[in-house]
Each structure stands twice: as structure tokens, then as C-alpha cells.
């Protein structure tokens, strides 16, 4: 079967490289276009970027000539899907040009908060796909589907089984975020070595806003934000990959640790039934670790190739009448970034929303 032709915007950056890595050897997708700034345009990809991924660049892509992202509209009909990894501050115009004609799967924040744009995590809010139809009112033949902030991702997946089974009143979360989440060159070594930095600009606001939208209810053609309270403290720690989060949840109905584990089991069963046949889908959306000292980034982040959320230390919280607390770990540069976007694209093809 002929593969789906894809272009990557922002291909020379870290996030763009992650798309290239995620699509390498993919049974459905093939990258046939690489786009970056005017400065990189006209160069071979191997000359235009400093490769930071652990595996080697495919020789075919290494020799591919990078094109100017400002001129993407000229080539747009050559592609079936556009994967965008552009910086959020410059992504809106190129992504909109592409969405006029083709589906855009994005890791950027440019359109996340538009009312007709779903922040999509397939196993959490797949019903929000219907917002894609509303985007046609813009005169687009394509659409834009961004993923969430990488810190939001693990939190929302961990909360979904609780929300469905027990209801949520309040959430308190503290993150210990990997340095890879800051991009390249990221945090200066003399700042992060032997240290935790207790502030990441705009991160707490993003997580709080996105969580309520993603777990919100689709009413007609609009998403009504979830009504529970949420408070976050986001920090950067000296770990390469994998965001750890300490989460406290006040529930509407009583929820014991065993209740939560059973809810996760049901959640995983639904996930396997709906998404288990997709190439990038993990065996389980959530993996429970029973050991008292897990999850740990170095040991657990690559479970199921970084596509699962790992949850451990599930305990009852006695401050709330109905309370539970746990620690989660999610791979910020895989499920929380490009590979999560690839999973979204796979599901949209399965449902016929993206045509082969």
C-alpha cells in the first residue's frame, strides 16, 4: 500500500527531529518534505541542522533539501498530512496556510486555545474530534489538531479514569520536569547541575488551562471547561527525559487506591479496544507500578517506547474527605510530543477523517 506523504515544519529544531524519529520506519507514513526558516532553505538537511537524536538520520532525509516554511503554500498539495513542530510564537501563520488545504498535526501552542480547535489526546477526549468539522466555517478544507503541553499530557491521562468513575473537585500538582522539555540548548548547565529550578515561565498557566479544556464536555459545537479547581507548581530538575508529577486529587465520590487501580484497568481495556491496532499505540495507556520507589525516570520512561503514562505510590489522602494521591511519569519527548502527534494522525486515518 502506498504510504501517506507527510511534510515536517520546523524540521531542523529538536521537536522537528522528534517527528522525523517518530516516523522513521513507520508502516503508514513517509516524510517527503522538510521545512524550516529561510536561513536553512536550500541546504541539505544534514547541513541545515545539528542532529540531536540518538539514532542516525535516514540517509534519504539527510540528503533532502530543506525548503522555506514561508513558501509552504506553494507545495501544499504534494502532501497528505502536515506535522508542525514550529516554535509557538511563529507557528500560527504557516499552520493556518496549511490548514486551508490539509490536516495539520501540531506540537505547538499557536492554536491550542481557539474555541474550534481540540487539544487532542485520543484516549481522553476523542469526542472533541467533532470540533474539526466546525473549523470548516473558517473556509478551510483541512484542519488543525494540536497536542497538549507535555506536562499536561501525563496529568490529564492520570485524571481521566478518576473523572469518569468518581468525579473531581480539586487537583493539586507539583512537577519535576526534565531538562529536555526546555529544548536545545535549554537550561545552562551551571543553573541545573545540583539544582532544582522552581519556576518555568507560563507553564503552570498552560497546564491549568489545558487540563480543564481537555477534560471538558462537548456541548453542541463548543467545549465547556471542566469545573473542578486545579493548582500547579512546575519545576525543572536535573533529569534528561521524563516528567515526574506528584498529584493530589479530591474526588466527588469515595475513591480508594484499589478503586483507582480498577478504574485504570477499565480505562486500559477501552484503550486497547479502540486504539490497540494503531502502529504507535502502547499495550497500555497507563502502567501501574506497585513498588514503593517507582516510577523513576531513568528506569521507567521508555516503557512501551515512551508511550505510556506510569503511575505509582497510589495512596489515600486523609486531608480531603474523599482524597487520593499518586506519582506519575510521562515521556515528554515521545508521548508528550511528536510520537503522540503521530498516534493522533493514525487514529484520524482509522476513522476516515484523514484520507489516505
d(CA 104, CA 117): 11
Strand spans (E) along the chain: 4-9, 29-36, 67-68, 81-84, 103-106, 143-146, 168-177, 196-197, 217-219, 222-224, 229-237, 243-251, 286-289, 309-316, 323-330
For residue 88, give every residue at least 6 positions away whose Cβ sits within 8 Å of its Cβ, in sequence order, or none.
108, 109, 110
Instruction: Indicate if 150 belongs to the active site.
Output: yes
d(CA 14, CA 137): 33
Which of 234, 243, 255, 331 is catalytic? The answer is 243
| Closest CA relative to residue 86, chosen from 349, 338, 346 | 338
d(CA 90, CA 170): 35
Q: Report phi then psi at 189, rounded to 5.
A: -60, -35
- Sign of the dihedral defined by the CA atoms of residues 94, 340, 120, 312, in that order: negative
Q: Report phi then psi at 341, rounded to 5.
A: -65, -40
Q: Which three cell numbers stand for residue 112?
A: 491550542
- Sign of the dihedral defined by the CA atoms of residues 251, 256, 258, 262, in that order: negative
* 145 dihedral zone (left: phi>0; alpha: psi -120 to 50; beta): beta
Which of 6, 49, 98, 150 is catalytic? The answer is 150
Catalytic residues: 150, 243
Amino acid at each position: 500500500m502506498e504510504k501517506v506523504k507527510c511534510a515536517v515544519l520546523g524540521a531542523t529544531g529538536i521537536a522537528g527531529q522528534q517527528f522525523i524519529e517518530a516516523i522513521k520506519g513507520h508502516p503508514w507514513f513517509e516524510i517527503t518534505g522538510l521545512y524550516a526558516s529561510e536561513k536553512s532553505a536550500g541546504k541539505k538537511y544534514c547541513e541545515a541542522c545539528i542532529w540531536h537524536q540518538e539514532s542516525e538520520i535516514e540517509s534519504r532525509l539527510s540528503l533532502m533539501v530543506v525548503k522555506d516554511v514561508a513558501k509552504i503554500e506553494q507545495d501544499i498539495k504534494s502532501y497528505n498530512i502536515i506535522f508542525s513542530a514550529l516554535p509557538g510564537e511563529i507557528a500560527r501563520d504557516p499552520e493556518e496556510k496549511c490548514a486551508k488545504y490539509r490536516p495539520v498535526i501540531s506540537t505547538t501552542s499557536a492554536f491550542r486555545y481557539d474555541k474550534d480547535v481540540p487539544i487532542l489526546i485520543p484516549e481522553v477526549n476523542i469526542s472533541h474530534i467533532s470540533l474539526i468539522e466546525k473549523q470548516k466555517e473558517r473556509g478551510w478544507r483541512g484542519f488543525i489538531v494540536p497536542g497538549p503541553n507535555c506536562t499536561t499530557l501525563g496529568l490529564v491521562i492520570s485524571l481521566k479514569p478518576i473523572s469518569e468513575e468518581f468525579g473531581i473537585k480539586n487537583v493539586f500538582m507539583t512537577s519535576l520536569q526534565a531538562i529536555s522539555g526546555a529544548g536545545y540548548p535549554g537550561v545552562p548547565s551551571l543553573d541545573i547541575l545540583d539544582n532544582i529550578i522552581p519556576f518555568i515561565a507560563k507553564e503552570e498557566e498552560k497546564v491549568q488551562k489545558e487540563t480543564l479544556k481537555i477534560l471538558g464536555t462537548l456541548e453542541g459545537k463548543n467545549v465547556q471547561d471542566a469545573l473542578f479547581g486545579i493548582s500547579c507548581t512546575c519545576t525543572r530538575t536535573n533529569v534528561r527525559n521524563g516528567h515526574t508529577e506528584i498529584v493530589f486529587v479530591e474526588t466527588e465520590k469515595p475513591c480508594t487506591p484499589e478503586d483507582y487501580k480498577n478504574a485504570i484497568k477499565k480505562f486500559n481495556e477501552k484503550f486497547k479496544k479502540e486504539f490497540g491496532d494503531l502502529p504507535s499505540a502502547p499495550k497500555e495507556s497507563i502502567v501501574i507500578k506497585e513498588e514503593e520507589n517507582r516510577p523513576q525516570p531513568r528506569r521507567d520512561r521508555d516503557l512501551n517506547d515512551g508511550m505510556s503514562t506510569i503511575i505509582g505510590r497510589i495512596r489515600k489522602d486523609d486531608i480531603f474527605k474523599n482524597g487520593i494521591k499518586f506519582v506519575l511519569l510521562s515521556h515528554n519527548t515521545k508521548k508528550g510530543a511528536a510520537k503522540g502527534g503521530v498516534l493522533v494522525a493514525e487514529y484520524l486515518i482509522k476513522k476516515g477523517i484523514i484520507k489516505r
